[in-house]
Amino acid sequence: MDEPVVRARDLRMTYGRTEVLRGVDLDVAAGEVVALLGPNGAGKTTTVEILEGFRLRSSGDVRVLGTDPGRGGNAWRARLGVVLQNWRDHPRWRARELLAHVASLYERPRDPDELLAVMGLTEQAGQTVSRLSGGQRRRLDVALGIVGRPELLFLDEPTTGFDPQARREFHELVERLARDEGMAVLLTTHDLAEAERLADRIAILVGGEVRACGTPASLAATARASSEVRWIEDGAPRGERTSDPSRLAFELHRRFGGPVPGLEVRRASLEDTYLGLVATGRGDRREVIEESGRAA
Ligand SMILES: Nc1ncnc2c1ncn2[C@@H]1O[C@H](COP(=O)(O)OP(=O)(O)OP(=O)(O)O)[C@@H](O)[C@H]1O
C-alpha cells in the first residue's frame, strides 16, 4: 500500500513545561479529506504548523509526502498548499496580478484566470486586495493556496466569511480536487456541518489527544446509544435518554393509553459525539448530558 500523504505517530509538543500535544496519531491518504475538529486551545494549529514544517515538534514520528517536515526543503514545500490569511498584507496588489505572481513561483501552476472563475472572482480580477470584501479576500486566499496544484492542502477555517452560495461552491471545488486530482486535504474548522459535508474522516482533538477518529457517520453512531425522547406529562416537559427510543415510545404510548403529548425523538448527531468528547475532556460530561437531557 502507498504511504499516506500525512502520517503522524505519537506526536508530542511542549511549550515550556506545558504539553499541548500528547501523542497525536493521524493519517491522511491521497485524495482524502480529513477534518481536524476541536475546541479552542485543543492543539489543532500546533499540529498543522508542525505538519507544514513551520514549527518543530518536541518528539514523535512525522512524515508528510514522505519527508520529515522539520527537514523539508523548497521542493517539498512547493508540493504543499497552505491557505494563509496574510495575503491581505499586500493591499495594493490587484487580485489577478497577485495570483499570477504566486503562480509563477510554481512549475505546474493552475491557470490564474480559470481559477478566478472557479472561485467566482472574475469580476474582481482587476481590483486591489484592499477593495475586496471579507469573503472575496478569503476566496482569494484559497485560490492562492491551490494555484500551485498542491498534493496536500492545509485549510484553516476556509469558509469563514463566505456567503452560503460561495460556501457550497467551495465545498464542491474541494471535493472535485480531492476526487479528480487525488489532492489530500487537512482541514481545521469549528463548523461541524462543514466537517460533516466535506470530510471523509474526522479526527476530534481534545486536550492535545485525538479522542475519536472516523467517518462522520461512524462518529455520529457512537453517540446514537443515547437518543433523546421528549414528551409532555401532567403539563410539564419530560425527557429521557435511551439506547432504544422506539421501545420507550412504545411504553409511553401504552402508559398514556394512546398518543403521547408532545412526543419527540431526537437521534444523536455528530454534534452530540463532539460535545460529549469535549465535555469529557473538561471533566464535566455529566453536566452536559443532563443539560441536553432536560426537556425544553
Ligand atoms: N507559541 C506558543 N507558546 C506557548 N503556548 C502556546 C503557543 N502556541 C500555542 N500555545 C498554547 O498551546 C495550546 C494549543 O494551541 P493551538 O493554537 O494549537 O490550539 P487550537 O486548537 O488551534 O485553538 P483555536 O481553535 O483557538 O485556534 C493552547 O493552550 C495555546 O495557548
Query: Which tens digit of pLDDT belongs to each residue from 58-83?
Result: 999 999 999 999 999 989 999 999 88
Please check whether residues 284 and 177 belong to one and the same domain.
no
Q: What is the pLDDT of residues 26-54, one digit of tens each?
A: 999 999 999 999 998 999 999 999 999 99
Residue 281 Cβ contacting ligand 1 at under 6 Å: no
Looking at the fold, whether 141 and 275 belong to one and the same domain comes out as no
Q: Are residues 285 and 153 in the same domain?
A: no
State the distance from the centre of ligand 1 to the C-alpha of 45, rounded, in angstroms.
7
Which of 194, 214, 234 is the C-terminal boundary of a domain? 214
Q: Can you list the alpha helix ranges (DSSP code H) found in the chain?
A: 44-52, 74-77, 95-103, 112-118, 134-146, 164-181, 192-198, 216-223, 245-256, 270-282, 285-293
Atom of ligand 1 nearest to the CA of 15: 4
The ligand 1 atom at the shortest distance from the C-alpha of residue 46 is 18
- Same domain for 39 and 177, yes or no, is yes
Q: Looking at ligand 1, which atom is closest to the CA of residue 49?
A: 18
The confidence score (pLDDT) of residue 249 equals: 93
CB of 38 within 6 A of ligand 1: the answer is yes
Domain limits for position 12: 6-214
Q: Which three cell numbers stand for residue 38?
A: 476541536
**CATH assignment of the domain containing 92:** 3.40.50.300
41 lines ligand 1 (CB under 6 A): yes
Give the pLDDT of residue 135: 81
C-alpha distance from residue 22 to each of 43, 101, 165, 273 (Å) = 10, 40, 39, 21
Distance of CA 59 from the midpoint of ligand 1 (Å): 17
Task: Determine which of 13-27, 86-100, 123-137 has the lowest per-residue pLDDT on average.
Answer: 86-100
Q: Which atom of ligand 1 is nearest the CA belonging to 45?
A: 22
Of residues 134 and 77, the one with the higher pLDDT is 77
User: The C-alpha cell of 271 is what?
Assistant: 454534534
pLDDT at 206: 92
Q: Are residues 132 and 103 in the same domain?
A: yes
Same domain, 238 and 283: yes
Contact indicator for 293, 228 with CB cutoff of 8 Å: yes
Domain-embedded: residue 1: no
CA of 12 to the centre of ligand 1 (A): 13
Regarding the beta carbon of 245 and ligand 1, being less than 6 Å apart is answered no
Q: For residues 1 and 268, which has the higher predicted lDDT (pLDDT)?
A: 268
Q: Are residues 190 and 164 in the same domain?
A: yes
pLDDT score, position 292: 33
Q: Whose CA is nearest to atom 31 of ligand 1?
A: 41
User: With a 6 A CB cut-off, is 46 part of the ligand 1 pocket?
Assistant: yes
The domain tally of the chain equals 2
Cell numbers standing for residue 236: 410539564
Query: Can you give the pLDDT at residue 88?
Result: 57
Q: Are residue 12 and residue 149 in the same domain, yes or no? A: yes
**CA 254–ligand 1 middle distance (angstroms):** 53
CA count, 13 A, side-chain hemisphere, 62: 26
At 34 the three-state DSSP class reads: strand
Q: Which of 156, 187, 214 is the last residue of a domain?
A: 214
What local confidence, expressed as pLDDT, does residue 295 receive? 32
Ligand 1 pocket, residue 42 CB under 6 Å? yes
Q: Are 237 and 230 in contact (CB under 8 A)?
A: yes
For position 275, what pLDDT does the model report? 82
The residue whose CA has the least distance to atom 17 of ligand 1 is 45
Kindly state the percentage of the chain with pLDDT values over 70.
91
- Give, for ligand 1, the residue of 40, 47, 50 to mutate: max count of ligand atoms closer than 8 Å to Cβ: 40
Q: Are residues 247 and 132 in the same domain?
A: no
Our answer on whether the CB atom of 136 is closer than 6 Å to any ligand 1 atom is no
The confidence score (pLDDT) of residue 85 equals 58
Chain centroid, CA 8 distance in Å: 17
Nearest CA to ligand 1 atom 8: 46
Name the nearest CA neighbour of 53 among 6, 87, 101. 6
> What local confidence, expressed as pLDDT, does residue 1 receive?
56
Over residues 161-207, the pLDDT tens digits come to 788 888 888 888 889 889 988 999 999 988 888 999 999 999 999 99
**131 and 25 in a common domain:** yes
Residue 36 backbone phi and psi in degrees, to 5: -105, 115
Q: Is 158 part of a structural domain of the chain?
A: yes
CA distance to 16, 87, 130, 234, 240, per residue, from 145 (Å): 32, 10, 19, 59, 47
Measured by CA distance, the residue closest to atom 10 of ligand 1 is 15
pLDDT for 30: 95
Domain boundary pick from 214, 246, 266: 214
Between 158 and 123, whose confidence is greater? 123
- Please, which pLDDT band fits residue 293 given cuts at 50, 70 and 90? very low
156 Cα: distance to centroid of ligand 1 (angstroms): 14
Determine how β-strand 6-15 pairs with β-strand 18-28. antiparallel
Residue burial 21-34, b: 16+ Cβ < 10 Å; e: rest? beebebbbbbbbbb
Q: Which of 44-53, 167-176, 214-223, 286-295 has the lowest mean pLDDT?
A: 286-295
149 and 19 share one domain: yes
- What pLDDT, on the 0 to 100 scale, is given for residue 189? 87
